[in-house]
Structure 1
Amino acid sequence: MDALKYLQEAGGVARTGQLLRAGFSRSDVESLTSRGAIRPRRGVLMLSDHRPEFAAAIRHNALVSCASAASHYGLWLRTAPSQHHLTCDHGHGSGFIRHRTARFDPHPSLPVAAIEDVVLHAMTCLEAPASTAMATSAIRLHGVPLALLKEQLRGDRSRPALKALHELDLRAESIIEVDAQHLFRAHGIAFDAQVAIPGVGRVDFLLEEFLIVEVDGFAYHSSRQALRNDLSRNNASTVNGYAVLRYPPEVIWFEPDRVVAEVRAVLARRPGTLPPG
C-alpha cells in the first residue's frame, strides 16, 4: 500500500513509528511532507482532513473512547460529543474527558480503544438513553457479549451502569427504538417490543394489547412501494381493531411530552373488547 493511502486510512494522522512498523521506509515517510502532510510535532504526520479525535489521542498519548469512538464502530449515538473522550493511564493534558481504565487490547492500527472498553466507558459516563443505545448496538451489531459487560462493571461496583445493563432491551433495532423504550419506561408506560401481529405484521411497540406505536426511521417511505406497504399495514391494523400512533425521530427526541400525552390519551380510551389474536 502507498504511504499516503495508509495515512488516509489511518484517519489522516499517525506517528512515524507506526508508519515504520507498517513496513514503510524512512524515505517513504519523509516523502509524505511533499504530498500534503505536515508535522504538527516531532514524530507525527498529519493530513489537513485528519480526524480530530485521532489527533487528540496521539497528542495526549491516549486512545479514543466512549462517545468519541461511537462513529468509528458504527455505534448508535444521536449527538456527537462536544469534547473528545480519551482513555489514558496518566494524568497529563487537559481539554478532554478522561477515562482511566482500558481492559482490552486496542485497535491494532488506530488510536482507538477496544469496542468493549468504548461501551464500558459509555455506560459509566453517558446518561441513558445514549449509553444504552451504544451498548445495544455494540451487542447487536458487533456481538459484544452482554455477560462480559456485566462482569466488568460488577468488578467496578458501578451500580447505576450495571442496573442499566440488566434492564437492557435488545429487541430494539435502531437508536430511535432505544429512545422510545427509555421514554416509555421513564413515564411508567408498559410495552412489548417487536411484536408479530397476525394479519398486520411486526410492529415496533404494542401497548396494552391494542395500541400500536411505530417509530419511523429517516429512510422510511424511500420508495412508492414502501409507502404502499406502510399504508396497507396501517389499514390492516385498523381493520383488526388496533389503534395506531406513528412518530418520526424528531418528535420522540424533541416533543416527548406530546408523545406521552397522546399515548396516555389513547390508552384511556381503550375499547372494552380486545382484538382477536
Structure 2
Amino acid sequence: MNLSIFLASRGGTASAAELGRAGFGRKAINVALADGSVARIHRRHYGFPQDTGDYRAARELRGLLTCLSAAPSYGLWTLAPARTLHLCVGHRAAPRSSVAHGRCRYPRHPWLPVAGLADVLVHALHCLPETEALVMVQCAVGRGEISLNFLRGRLRGNRNARARSVLDLVIPRADSLLEVLANVAFVRAGLHVRRHVEIPGVGEVDFLIEDCLVVETDGGTHLEPLQVKKDRRRNYASVVGGYLVLRYGYDDVVNHPWRMVAEVVAVLELWRRGHFQP
C-alpha cells in the first residue's frame, strides 16, 4: 500500500503519527510532498492537495467533527446533511461559519478527526431540533452502539431536561427513521399504537393502530418493481384479514406528519361510524 492509498482509506487525511504507525516514515512523506500527491495541511498533518471535505477542514481548524457533521462517519440516520461544520475546538475560538460545541469528554474516533460517538450524540441532543437528534440517537441505540442509560447518566440536571425528553421518544426497535418519526406523530396524537405486529397471512407490519388500521412507512426500496408487487399482495391480504391499510412515504412522514395523522384519524372515525362494515 502506498501513502495515497492509505490516506484514501482514512478519509483523505492523517497525522504524521498515524502515518508512522502505518509504516510511512519521514522519507516517504517527503517524496509524496515533492511529487505533489500529498499536501501538508498544517504541522504534522497531511492530506490530498485538492481535498475540500469536512475531514480536511477539521484538521485545518485543529478540531474534531461532531454533532450532525460527524453523523456520516458513524453511519447514523439523518434527515438532511449538515450545512455548516459542527466542531469541537477545545478552548480555541471556532470560525464564525461553523457551529462550536463544548469540549469532548470521551475517546475520539480512532483515526478520523471526529469526536467519539458519545460526544457526538450528546452534542446533537443539545444542538439539533428534536426529530433530527432523535433519529441519530435511535440509530446508534438500535444498533447497540450506546445505551439510553449511559446517555441519561450524562444528561442530568434541569438544563438537560430537553435533551432527556428526546431520549424518551426512542423506541426498542426501528427499521428506518420513518418508523421513528411516524411513531412520534401517532403517539402525540393520542392514538393506541402497536409496532411490528405479526398478522397471519400478511407478516409483520410497521404499525397497527387502534387494532384495526395497518400503517406502513415506505422508504425508497418500496418503489422498486418487485417490492411494489409484494406490498400490493400484503395490502390485499390485510384487507382480506379484516384490516384497513394506509401507506406513507418519506415526504409524508418527514415533511407532512400532521397531514398523515389527520388522514389516519379520519379513517379511524369512519371505521367507528361503521362506514367499512357491510
Corresponding residue of 1:259: 260
Corresponding residue of 1:248: 249
Corresponding residue of 1:32: 32
Letter in 2 for 1:128: E
Counterparts of 2:233 and 2:81, CA distance in 1: 37
Q: Which moved more, 1:11-20 or 1:89-98?
A: 11-20
Counterparts of 2:195 and 2:140, CA distance in 1: 19
Q: Does structure 1 retain, via aligned residues, the 8 Å contact 2:67–2:124?
A: yes
Instruction: Give TM-score, length-normalised by structure 1.
Output: 0.89
Corresponding residue of 1:70: 71
SS of the residue 2:130 aligns to: coil
Deviation at 1:156, TM superposition (A): 8.1
Contiguous gaps of at least 5 residues in structure 1? none
SS of the residue 2:271 aligns to: coil
Letter in 2 for 1:104: Y
1:142-161 aligned at under 5 Å gives the runs: 142-154=144-156, 157-161=159-163
Pair 1:142–1:9, CA change in 2 (3 A): farther
Q: Deviations over 1:20-73 (max 9, x none)?
A: 343311111112221522234443322156462212221222211111111111
Q: Deviations over 1:115-164 (max 9, x none)?
A: 12111111111112111110010012243122111111126851111122
Contiguous gaps of at least 5 residues in structure 2? none
Q: Does structure 2 retain, via aligned residues, the 8 Å contact 1:13–1:51?
A: no
Give the ranges of 4+ consecutive aligned residues of structure 1 lying more than 6 Å apart after TM superposition: none
Letter in 2 for 1:69: A
Q: 1:167 aligns with which of 166, 169, 179?
A: 169
Corresponding residue of 1:60: 61
Counterparts of 1:70 and 1:156, CA distance in 2: 27
The alignment's C-alpha RMSD in Å is: 2.3
Deviation at 1:87, TM superposition (A): 1.6
1:187-198 aligned at under 5 Å gives the runs: 187-198=189-200
Pair 1:153–1:101, CA change in 2 (3 A): farther
Aligned length: 273
Letter in 2 for 1:88: V
SS of the residue 1:269 aligns to: helix
SS of the residue 1:30 aligns to: helix
Q: Which moved more, 1:47-56 or 1:60-69?
A: 47-56
Pair 1:51–1:12, CA change in 2 (3 A): farther
Corresponding residue of 1:15: 15
Deviation at 1:219, TM superposition (A): 1.0
Q: Deviations over 1:218-259 (max 9, x none)?
A: 0125353x3332122101111111111101112222333431
Deviation at 1:99, TM superposition (A): 1.4
SS of the residue 1:102 aligns to: coil
Q: Which moved more, 1:165-174 or 1:79-88?
A: 165-174
Letter in 2 for 1:115: L
Letter in 1 for 2:156: R
Pair 1:16–1:155, CA change in 2 (3 A): farther
Q: Does structure 1 retain, via aligned residues, the 8 Å contact 2:86–2:101?
A: yes
Pair 1:142–1:7, CA change in 2 (3 A): farther
Instruction: Give TM-score, length-normalised by structure 2.
Output: 0.89
SS of the residue 1:231 aligns to: helix
Q: Does structure 1 retain, via aligned residues, the 8 Å contact 2:185–2:258?
A: no
What is the percentage of aligned positions where both structures have the same residue? 35
Deviation at 1:265, TM superposition (A): 1.0
Q: Does structure 1 retain, via aligned residues, the 8 Å contact 2:77–2:135?
A: yes
Q: Which moved more, 1:257-266 or 1:234-243?
A: 257-266
Counterparts of 2:228 and 2:272, CA distance in 1: 29
Corresponding residue of 2:207: 205
